[in-house]
């Protein structure tokens, strides 16, 4: 049974484990003040091309989202998100648990557009309503689509015009940035949005997300928020080391490219076998629509999620690839699709 | 300028003010342990026909909703509400501020139906999602519609089958219960739902809502919640006295009947003048669709909300009547509508 | 049985009820935008002698404290209070329920001093600890003592030097300002502290506290906080009217002076009878130390709290006077003390 | 420069890193449903000797405390803790941020006693106050002392008599259980308290704490709380694997014994050099009182915290040993102490 269920099925890229081993006996400061974390921040600043950003390393996506959003907002301020947004669907109300409403916007392809944001702003007119203050998007989105630079620029513009923060959940950011259809860079992100995170867990790390804060007013006292939310690891070195390893050369991007390449093979295989897709996804999650019989057959050899029912005979499934996906397994699956 | 803007434009029914005057010099216990509050609870229990209910008097609707809902739920439990629900639209995220997500359900007429609830339950499957635990409805709804006994019975059934609490926001409950189309009694409410409140502010009181808790497990330590949320008035007598006055005879219902009668006169006037309505409302809020020119003309003599745009030439307005609405003003408005 | 248990045993001063009656039929805007509330704010600004302050009317002390403090602080910021502070003892953790720690400082006489504040600041050194950000004091304190102008000036200085807000709970502010030992004015308060409230409930109003915000950065969007906490009454007129009546002339101060005068008669009576006091209180709460036998005898004719045990034979009791306390009852109690 | 600053200066015990390497390529379920986590839970149940307990693995102590305590309490319920408790001092108000007051009890040796708990219960009498509901203790305490079985039994008794939960923060539990003075077992803990956690981070793991819930009513839906607080790691395997390695034989205890042995060498060295201690600590943190000159000299070769000032000439320092502390370094420090 081979799993295409998600991109966190395996451990970490071997280079990361080797780095842990190599430095294991060194004594280091706790709570993210160790040399590894400092170097990771330095490497990310270089990569992004800006020194006036703050970097914080956290252990998971939900933790990063809830810590950042609750730090950035006053009590009556709300978040605007696509109804498919991870914070609205799959984080057990973590944002609301910090006191903030998340306003859901219905969208077709997982992506927010300027008119959605403007409409949300316009619908909230006075103190009897929450005040929209932060726009949450995911790149890639939860269904694999990505934002191009022009689109993100437009979102940025409408946010700045309306005094809204723009925040990007980058749980799978590597896959977005390495997509064939991508024209965004890390520097663009830092310029266009106020904060975003670079996901490690789903791209080769054991655990770890790197939060980048580019807006000055959001930086103050952020370590207090980290500690209060239980997000400041005693052995912060574990996070630091991983991001050093991922960003001291091209490893982070190489891993994402591999995941995308494997998804591409799958995509082509699905298409050649004559099947279509639920969504246009140029990243490491694809959503083929298959006959239910075929799905049942595949389930005997592969694990994956059945995503949604299409009609009486067909369903969409989700196939996810990762840095660790084996090409052999992909080729076999493609073959089995055609069989 | 006469106001049809809402049902809290005037002070209180004169009998209430007289009762305040008559008892003013009496010394009484504080924080809702005074004889007036105790008597109000007794009168409500008699009226409802059950002794095994708890009654708490609070000062406003948002306060009642946030205190009750946060008391009833564990942190990861969520509320299901029509997207038009007051808690979702006009309470500045007060429920989310206590840590709970409110799941919005799109409906046409302001009313939740069993299938909406079942769908919300079915969509939340595991610990990555909030757990729906309480259904919030308003009766009458925010757009004037009401639940009949059979409908409420069905909601009650689906809630009990799914281990959900059912809660009714009764900010305008008097108007619902006195509507020509109503077949629900206060006793029915106490039997079919787990908690509801009887709105005083919008039906003749200065301030005050009476929360009725009929489900045993929700009663424990409720006064701690009241105090913690700032809802326990030192001079609780002010609340107690008003509910004594409203419920020692038929006053509460007489006031609601007057409001409904005035709304009926308006409704007939609008219909006779050849105009239609945005919603079917048998209660004290009506939503006529009028030509914009006529609306502008009316705005010179009356204050009211323009509710929504219908097309280039017409809009829906909201007219609200109350215990204090003068028949003369209603007749004049009807005349002006036809002029 | 005559009550000296508290200062909220009776209703409201008759002039307030008469004002309610006189204006009852007038239609007015809701939610604190009515002419009465606007006029109350205007009168308070005149009385305080500053136009650059914001005034908000709320219904009770706990509600005012929790709404203000949670509005003023970021999530990791904490409050410093005397261990006897009302928010630490008698508000059911209302401040903590909004997410903020309250740091307790042991004091003898209910009063914080600069060295307490400096010590609290010094003890909190990094992001592993909360950051003290607001100092909460009560004037008069919970045990009747008051701050003189020099003392408040020193607190103000240490707060400003340490970037702390200074907030005064003025539930019984009238009694403090009208005490024989007082040298503070409302203007002094507005100058020396960042926010304070003028208590109405315990000085002649039915319900109502007037929050004064003098620090600019604390004013923004405060009505959103009010609404979210359930503190924005639909019939805000009820609050407005009362403060108009209390401050359109000397009524607020006359009522406090009466309460203080009655407390003075009691104080002298206790002293003449040969008894001492638990605390030095120049306001409307006094704490005589009496033989337990005498206490039991008094309890047959008066209600009051037994405050604390002194030794095997004696206890301190609390006697509270108010605007409504009858001189005859006071004289009788004094006589009974000596009996 | 050798560090005695804390017990999280190094990485993980090599066996743990080897286990990560050995299993790295295996695909496993996410979010703690992997075979490693299941086996860790199984091993812990065997070790504790009870099957009716729930085990959850989290990434750090503050996260564990805040998730557990907020899950166990209703909004108005409070925690009782020694004033020196980690949650009161060094977690940035994390518990208060979830809405709960922590009642501080002054103690001399870091340990709560039955009379402290009873006094806290007795002091909270009605709904104007929080309701104490959970007692938080640390074993070992923050200053190195431990609870013996009889003491814990007494705490357990007073808690059960007063309907309080008893919770143990076991960040350094290994060191307590392996202390020469200890007579408590893991089974005793599960029997006497309602929940406790077994600290991994400070005893050889990279990250990880194992929360044990023995009280049935506290178990329900706990994974919802984990997810909502950001504590459910996608690669839960990382936590599972470590606890398998620590508990599949005696590793966890061997590591703690080493730390204690190193502390013992230090303790003896300090005593032989003629110095005394701030506290009696039979665990891996000791607090020698040294002349300031000597401290300055030591600071050139070792890093450690200066804990508190004793008098003009002397201060107490904190020396912490761990599974990784080198005996050679300890011997050198002892020599330098005498030098």
Work out whether strand A289-291 and strand A285-286 pair parallel, antiparallel, or are unpaired.
Answer: unpaired
Work out the minimum CA distance from D221 to partner chain A, whole angstroms: 12
What are the pLDDT digits (tens) for A10-32?
999 999 999 999 999 999 999 99
CA–CA separation, D110 and D313 (whole Å): 25
Our CA-based measurement puts residue B127 at a distance from the nearest CA of chain A, in whole angstroms, of 7
Angle between helices A327-338 and A251-272 (to 10 degrees): 10
Q: Do D90 and C128 touch (CB under 8 A)?
A: yes
Cβ distance of A10 and D24 shorter than 8 Å:
yes
Minimal Cβ distance to B89: which of A93, A102, A129: A129
Q: What was the pLDDT predicted at D103?
A: 98
Beta-carbon contacts of residue A300 (< 8 Å; ≥ 6 apart)? none
Contacts of D206 in chain A (CB under 8 A): 20, 235, 238
Q: Which of C24, C62, C227 sits opposite B62 (nearest CB)?
A: C227
Mutation choice for B interface testing from D31, D32, D67, D75 by most B CBs within 10 A: D75
Token representation of residue D264: 């013992």
- When scoring C224, C227, C233 by the number of chain A Cβ atoms within 10 A, the one with the most, hence best to mutate, is C224
- Whether A101 has its CB under 8 Å from any CB of chain B: the answer is yes
Stretch (H or E) spanning A285: strand A285-286
Tell me whether C20 touches chain B (CB under 8 Å). yes
> Closest partner residue to D75 among B128, B223, B228, by Cβ?
B228
Q: What is the mean pLDDT of chain D?
A: 98
Do the Cβ atoms of A76 and B91 come within 8 Å?
no
Domains of chain A, each with CATH number or no CATH: 2-7+251-338 (3.90.1150.10), 14-247 (3.40.640.10)
Give C-chain residues touching D101 at CB under 8 angstroms: 93, 96, 102
Contacts of A92 in chain B (CB under 8 A): 76, 127-130
Nearest CA in chain B to D124: B224
10 Å CB burial of residue D141 (0-12, 13-18, 19+) is: buried
In a 10 Å sphere around its CB, with 0-12 CB exposed, 13-18 middle and 19+ buried, how is residue D113 labelled? Answer: middle
Q: Of D219, D193, D64, D209, which Cα lies nearest the Cα of D134?
A: D193
Question: What pLDDT does C339 receive?
Answer: 75
- Tell which of B8, B75, B97, B171 to mutate to test the A interface (max A CBs under 10 Å): B97
C74 contacts A227? CB cut-off 8 A: no
Q: How far is D314 from chain C (nearest CA, A)?
A: 20
For chain C, say whether D92 makes contact (Cβ under 8 Å).
yes
Cβ of B228 within 8 Å of Cβ of D131? The answer is no
Q: Parallel, antiparallel, or unpaired: how do β-strands A77-82 and A102-105 relate?
A: parallel
Query: Are the Cβ atoms of A228 and C74 closer than 8 angstroms?
Result: no
Q: C233 CA to chain A: closest CA distance, Å?
A: 12
Residues 140-169 of C with CB under 8 A from B: none
CB contact under 8 A, A227 and D61: no
Q: Are A210 and A40 in contact (CB under 8 A)?
A: yes
Q: C99 and D100: CB-CB below 8 Å?
A: no
Chain B residues with CB under 8 Å of C29 CB are: 9
Q: Do A76 and C127 touch (CB under 8 A)?
A: no
- The C-alpha R_g of chain D, in whole angstroms, comes to 20
Dihedral of CA atoms D208, D212, D217, D223 in degrees, nearest 10, equals 30
The percent of residues in chain B predicted with pLDDT above 90, rounded, is 99
Q: Rounded distance, CA D151 to CA A172, Å? A: 51
Of all residues in chain B, the one with the smallest CA distance to D221 is B127
Q: What is the pLDDT along chain D (339 residues), one digit of tens a residue?
A: 999 999 999 999 999 999 999 999 999 999 999 999 999 999 999 999 999 999 999 999 999 999 999 999 999 999 999 999 999 999 999 999 999 999 999 999 999 999 999 999 999 999 999 999 999 999 999 999 999 999 999 999 999 999 999 999 999 999 999 999 999 999 999 999 999 999 999 999 999 999 999 999 999 999 999 999 999 999 999 999 999 999 999 999 999 999 999 999 999 999 999 999 999 999 999 999 999 999 999 999 999 999 999 999 999 999 999 999 999 999 999 999 987
Q: Is the pLDDT of residue C188 over 80?
A: yes
Q: B129–A90: do the CB atoms touch at under 8 Å?
A: yes
Residue A227, chain C, CB below 8 Å: the answer is yes
CB contact under 8 A, B76 and D225: yes
Q: Which residue of C has its CA nearest to A32?
A: C127
ipTM entry: 0.97
Interface test with C, best of B11, B28, B69 (most C CBs within 10 A): B11
Write the pLDDT tens digit of every residue in B13-46. Answer: 999 999 999 999 999 999 999 999 999 999 999 9
Please give the pLDDT value at position A189. 98
Radius of gyration of chain C (CA): 20
- D133 closest CA partner among D194, D190, D187: D194
- Burial code of D202-225, b = ≥16 C-beta within 10 A, e = fewer? bbbbbbbbbbbbbbeebeeebbbb
Q: How far is A104 from chain B (nearest CA, A)?
A: 9
Round to whole Å and give the CA distance between A74 and C219.
13
Suggest the residue from B30, B54, B68, B76 to mutate for an interface test with chain D (most D CBs closer than 10 A).
B76
Low-confidence ranges of chain A (pLDDT < 50): none
pLDDT value of residue C11: 97
Candidate from B93, B98, B99 with C-beta closest to A78? B93
pLDDT of residue D211: 98
Q: Is the dihedral of CA B302, B308, B314, B318 positive or negative?
A: negative
Q: What is the residue whose two structure tokens read 């745009």?
A: B309
pLDDT of residue C144 exceeding 90: yes
Exposure string over B101-137, b if 16+ CB within 10 A, otherwise e? bbbbbebeebbbbbebbeebbeebeebbbbbbbbbbb
Q: Are B132 and B120 in contact (CB under 8 A)?
A: yes
Look-up: residue for tokens 């965004």?
Answer: A184
C-alpha angle with apex D240: D238 to D244, nearest 5 degrees? 120
pLDDT for the residue numbered C28:
97
Considering only CB atoms, which chain B residues are within 8 Å of D56? none
Residue B339 pLDDT greater than 80, yes or no = no
Whether A97 and D97 have beta carbons less than 8 Å apart is answered as no
Closest Cα in chain A, distance from residue B87 (Å): 10
Which of A299, A300, A336, A332 has its CA nearest to residue A318? A299
Residue D22, judged by CB atoms within 10 A of its CB (0-12, 13-18, 19+), counts as exposed
- Phi first, then psi, for residue D136 (nearest 5°) are -105, 125
Query: Looking at residue A199, what is its pLDDT?
Result: 98
Q: Which residues contact B5 (CB under 8 A, 6 or more apart)?
A: B303, B304, B305, B320
The DSSP-derived string for A162-202 is: TT-EEEEE-TTHHHHHTSTT----HHHHHHH-SEEEEE-GG
Contact C93 D104 (CB under 8 A): no
């Amino acid at each position: 049974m081979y799993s295409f269920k998600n991109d966190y099925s395996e451990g970490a890229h071997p280079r990361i484990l080797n780095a842990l081993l190599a430095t294991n006996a060194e004594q280091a400061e706790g709570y993210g003040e160790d040399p590894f974390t400092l170097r990771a921040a330095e490497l990310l600043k270089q990569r992004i091309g800006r020194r006036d950003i703050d970097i914080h390393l956290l252990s998971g996506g939900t933790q990063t989202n809830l810590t950042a959003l609750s730090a950035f907002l006053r009590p009556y301020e709300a978040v605007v998100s696509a109804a498919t947004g991870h914070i609205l669907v799959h984080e057990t109300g973590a944002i609301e648990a910090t006191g903030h409403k998340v306003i859901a916007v219905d969208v077709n392809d997982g992506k927010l557009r300027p008119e959605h944001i403007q409409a949300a702003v316009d619908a909230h007119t006075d103190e009897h309503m929450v005040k929209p203050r932060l726009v949450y998007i995911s790149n890639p989105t939860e269904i694999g689509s990505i934002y191009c630079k022009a689109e993100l620029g437009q979102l940025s513009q409408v946010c700045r015009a309306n005094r809204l923060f723009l925040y990007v959940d980058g749980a799978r950011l590597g896959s977005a940035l390495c997509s064939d259809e991508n024209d965004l860079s890390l520097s663009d992100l830092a310029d266009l949005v106020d904060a975003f995170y670079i996901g490690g867990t789903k791209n080769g790390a054991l655990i770890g997300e790197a939060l980048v804060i580019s807006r000055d007013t959001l930086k103050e006292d952020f370590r207090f928020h980290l500690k209060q939310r239980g997000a400041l690891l005693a052995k912060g070195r574990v996070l630091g080391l991983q991001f050093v390893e991922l960003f001291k050369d091209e490893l982070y991007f190489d891993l994402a490219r591999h995941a995308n390449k494997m998804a591409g093979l799958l995509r082509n295989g699905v298409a050649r076998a004559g099947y279509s897709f639920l969504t246009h996804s140029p990243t490491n999650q694809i959503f083929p629509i298959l006959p239910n019989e075929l799905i049942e057959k595949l389930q005997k050899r592969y694990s994956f999620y059945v995503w949604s029912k299409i009609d009486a005979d067909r369903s969409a499934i989700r196939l996810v690839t990762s840095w660790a996906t084996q090409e052999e397994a992909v080729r076999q699956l493609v073959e089995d699709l055609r069989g």
